[in-house]
Amino acid sequence: MPRSLAPRYWGAHLLALVLVGVAVGLGFWQLGAWQDHRRAQAADLTNAEPLPLADVIGPDDPFPGDRVGQPVTVVGAWVPRGTVYVSGREHEGRDGFWVVTPLAVGDGDDGAALPVVRGWVADPAEAPAPPTGAAEVEAWLQPPQGTGEVDADPGDDVLPQLRIADVIQHVDQDLYGAYGVARTPGPDLEPATLDQLPPVAALTGLRNLLYAIEWWFFGAFAAFIWWRWQRDLETEAAADEEAAGDTGSGAEATSVG
């Protein structure tokens, strides 16, 4: 049996196991704190007071990069004929579709429209009829999607992504260079989750991340010391056995002589 497994060394093994386990656990705890800090900062803008859409973006403006997730108030009229469904959207682990209806901003229904994600549905066939008439909606502002995925069937009302160039094929008016995710889903629809959150500063929660790395380094060092101690014990045991063998051989040779 290896010398390191002798009962008198069990306490040392247990101590090494506890030290490594505590270090790994504390490292993951600090990693979780780092992630929480970043999520909290990303969610700050989404919890801000809603602003009128015109105060954030105009019909012909590029998307303001510092306004991802900004709540906005949109007043206008629904464009029900422009309703589309965006595939590949998950809700509580289920795959489904976003239900998107443009909202023409202003008094008439021929002004520039903001595509609004009214909610989520498992199957477009189960989606309620598109809304009509005037409306006031609070929504989180999001930049247009553009992953480059090709729409396999441009003739239907199902899109693989919420790209303005695709949505505009379904309406007779201009569209904003953005879309909104309704804070309150429409009737008979599940809430849609935000596709993007505000950018997070690179140094947010950095101290927690460094603490996590420090704890993992300590755990690795403790594991190395334990391994090195075991190896030294076995090396010492092998040397003792070799010395005992040499002593025995010498005594036997003396006896024969």
| pLDDT at position 183 | 93
Q: CA–CA separation, 87 vs 95, rounded Å? A: 8
For residues 213-236, average pLDDT: 87
| pLDDT at position 148 | 66
Which residues have C-beta within 8 Å of that of residue 165, sequence separation ≥ 6? Answer: none
Whether the per-residue pLDDT at 1 is higher than 70: the answer is no
Whether the per-residue pLDDT at 42 is higher than 70: the answer is no
For residues 94-105, average pLDDT: 96
pLDDT band with cut points at 50, 70 and 90 for residue 10: confident
Q: Tell me which of 63-72, 125-134, 237-246 is least confident.
A: 237-246
| pLDDT at position 247 | 65
Phi–psi pair at 37, nearest 5 degrees:
-60, -40
pLDDT band with cut points at 50, 70 and 90 for residue 13: confident
| pLDDT at position 245 | 67
How do residues 106-143 score in pLDDT, each as one tens digit? 866 668 999 999 999 999 999 999 999 999 999 999 99
| pLDDT at position 52 | 96
The helix or strand, by DSSP H or E, that contains position 239, with its residue range, turns out to be helix 206-256
Spatial CA neighbour of 103 closest among 124, 119, 117, 121: 117
Q: Tell me which of 101-105, 111-115, 234-238 is least confident.
A: 234-238
The percentage of residues in the chain with a pLDDT greater than 70, rounded to a whole number, is 82
Exposure on the CB side of residue 54, measured as CA atoms within 13 A: 6
pLDDT band with cut points at 50, 70 and 90 for residue 74: very high
Using a 10 angstrom Cβ sphere, with 0-12 exposed, 13-18 middle and 19 or more buried, the burial of residue 114 is buried
